[in-house]
Amino acid sequence: MKKIGITCYPTVGGSGIIATELGMMMAKDGHEIHFITSSLPFRLNEVHPNIYYHEVELNHYPVFQYPPFDLALANKMAEVIDQEKLDVLHVHYAMPHAVCAILAKGIAKHDVKIVTTLHGTDITVLGIDHSLKKMIKYGIEQSDAVTAVSDSLVNQTYNTVEADKAIRVIYNFVNEDDYAKTDNPSIREQYGIAADEKIVIHISNFRKVKRVQDVIYTFQQIKNDVKAKLLLVGDGPEYSEMYQLVSELGLNEHVLFLGKQKNVSDLLSISDLKLLMSEKESFGLVLLEAMSCEVPCIGTNTGGIPEVIEHGETGFIVEPGDIDSAAGYAVYLLQDDDLKKQYAQNALTYARKHFYSRDIVKQYLDLYDELISDM
Ligand code: GMT
């Protein structure tokens, strides 16, 4: 049994989901898990005797213009390392978690190994920001082990932050119990979607990098050839602009803005196709969620997306911004039910083969073992 501390962003986001699911699965395997975060991770929806939660508290002294969260986090990490005698502290997202963990290791008396998992924007966005670059490089190089969620992210890390450190790829996974095709035809009715209409879905946090406008323009073309509805799931900075775009294009009757949703697998289960037209995407966890629910995907040739979608087998890859090709592939698939079924089956098989949760959790546990045996 290992004692593992986990720090992640506890609100929404793929990195927080992976960290929390990893902790829950390891707890079920008998390991003791200590979440050290600013609030309860949103996916932590189970009571389990092996899971503990340590909240980072912030004191608002008038002398501080900005309360120093990073230092409070490092202090809490050091406290938990010593009190609980952690074997490993695994932090998800380099900034500021890796640097906080290294500081905590220096403060704590008990020896602990630091594992940092890079998720994407910590490198592709923050890693090119000169005010943070050196700090990210330091966090990576001083960690005992570093993992990244795709080959592409490893390469980008070497190219952007020029880190002198071996980085191991451990792909993302989904909890297959939560992401599986369900049979719930009443959902279609509830949303007023006719039986002969195809459903195209996009799920994201509506940040600029997701290029939701490309999803809308692609759908506009699909609709010319196929009777279809577009489900836009999620919320974020671009939401109002996308709402306006849909109105300007006269697509209001065909596009459903559903906002943030909890049971995404129910929505995926009624969907025929998933679109992810991002400009940057280190992995695209939403693609794997879709594939596990037997939904073929069209994604852009960026970051880790081509490592998740197998072009011409489980879905299609198009160049970022290539709306015409995306619409062409979508129509090709949506007009042929047998072909769509084949792609859906291939997607599920591919997800199970390459991203099966038990295999991925084992890869992390093996990494911890390697580090602990060095102690
Ligand atoms: O995509 C986001 O905006 C959220 C971000 C995060 O940090 O949670 O997602 C990143 O990590 C996910 C989990 O590893 C990946 O699946 C996403 O591709 C990655 N996002 C980007 O690279 C833009």
Nearest ligand 1 atom to alpha carbon 207: 3
Q: Are strands 297-300 and 145-148 parallel, antiparallel or unpaired?
A: unpaired
Nearest ligand 1 atom to alpha carbon 172: 14
Rounded CA gap, 99 and 59, in Å? 21
> pTM of the predicted model, to two decimals?
0.94
Q: What is the CATH number of domain 186-354?
A: 3.40.50.2000
Query: Cβ(41)–Cβ(19) under 8 Å?
Result: yes
DSSP string, 176-189: TTTSS----THHHH
**Ligand 1 pocket test target in 91, 151, 278, 285 with most atoms within 8 Å of CB:** 285
Rounded CA gap, 139 and 161, in Å? 11
Q: Which of 36, 30, 41, 49 is nearest to 7 (CA)?
A: 36
Query: Cβ(43)–Cβ(17) under 8 Å?
Result: yes
Domain extents in the chain: 3-173+356-373, 186-354
Ligand 1 in reach of 8 Cβ (< 6 A): no
ipTM: 0.95
**What does the pLDDT profile of the chain (375 residues) look like in tens digits?**
999 999 999 887 899 999 999 999 999 999 999 999 998 888 787 789 999 999 998 877 778 778 889 999 999 999 999 999 999 999 998 889 999 999 999 999 999 999 999 998 777 767 677 778 899 999 999 999 999 999 999 999 999 988 899 999 999 999 999 999 998 889 999 999 999 999 999 999 999 999 999 999 999 999 999 999 999 999 999 999 999 999 999 999 999 999 999 889 999 999 999 999 999 999 999 999 999 999 999 999 999 999 999 999 999 999 999 999 999 999 999 999 999 999 999 999 999 999 999 999 999 999 999 999 876
Query: Cβ(20)–Cβ(43) under 8 Å?
Result: yes
E runs forming strands in the chain? 3-7, 32-37, 51-55, 88-92, 113-118, 145-148, 167-169, 198-203, 228-233, 255-259, 273-276, 297-300, 315-318
Nearest ligand 1 atom to alpha carbon 16: 8
Ligand 1 in reach of 43 Cβ (< 6 A): no
Q: Whose CA is nearest to atom 23 of ligand 1?
A: 281
Domain 3-173+356-373 has CATH 3.30.530.20: no
